[in-house]
Amino acid sequence: MGDCGERGGASDIECREIAALLGDYFDGTLPNHTRELIEFHIDGCAPCVAFVNTYRGTIAATRTLPETPMPAELRKRLLSVLRSERGSQTPPRS
């Protein structure tokens, strides 16, 4: 059932599923098994190769600014400052 046999491949994932999963694929949040399925499919599917290339280009375009995560130390100090300020204005009920 559902076996069109066009490519005769063992891929049990479809192009539209590839498109839906690419976001997670590039985020690296997919399980290895799913990644392998995607790579296997793309390997033998020209339209998907083109789609992946377009997707990569889009990601590159949206990531022109490098991400600079806030250092843990700074974050801790900021939080403590925020807490102490709030605490001085409205003392916590107990």
Interface residues toward Zn ion, by CB under 5 A? 15, 45, 48
The DSSP call for residue 70 is: P
What Cα–Cα distance (Å) separates residue 81 from each residue in 56, 68, 72, 76?
A: 41, 22, 14, 9
For 14, other C-beta atoms within 10 Å of its C-beta total: 14
Give whichever of 57 and 87 is closer to Zn ion, judged by the CB atom: 57
For 81, other C-beta atoms within 10 Å of its C-beta total: 10
Give whichever of 3 and 73 is closer to Zn ion, judged by the CB atom: 3
